[in-house]
Structure 1
C-alpha cells in the first residue's frame, strides 16, 4: 500500500500527458515482447518438426 501512495506522489509531479505517454510506451513494449516470444516459440516448434522429420527419414532409410 505504501508503494502505491509513493507512486501517486511521484505521478502527481508529472503532467497527465507524460504519464499517459509512459503507459502507452510501456504497453507497446510489452506487446512487442509478447510478439517476439510467440515468434520464437513458433520457430522452435517448426525446427522441432523439421528435426523429427529428418530423424524419421533416417530411421526409414536404415530399415532398408
Structure 2
C-alpha cells in the first residue's frame, strides 16, 4: 500500500469508528418479588403461542379463499 494511502487510512479510521458504545448487562442479585406459578406460566405461553401462530394459521386455513379472484 502506498505511503499516502496508509497515511489517509490511518487518519480516517478514528473518524469512521464514531463513539465507543459501552454495554452493561442488567444483572439483579435479588430473587423475584413474586413467584409465578405453573398455571400462570402455562396461560402466558399459550397466549404467546396463539398470538404468534394464530394469524398464520388463519391465513393457511383460508388460503383457497384468498386464491379466488372475483
**Same-fold call, TM cutoff 0.5:** no
Report the structure, 1 or 2, having the larger helix content. Answer: 1
Shorter-normalised TM range: 0.3 to 0.5
Structure with larger RCO (C-alpha < 8 A, sep 6+): 1
State TM-score, norm by structure 2.
0.39
State TM-score, norm by structure 1.
0.41
Q: Which has the larger radius of gyration?
A: 2
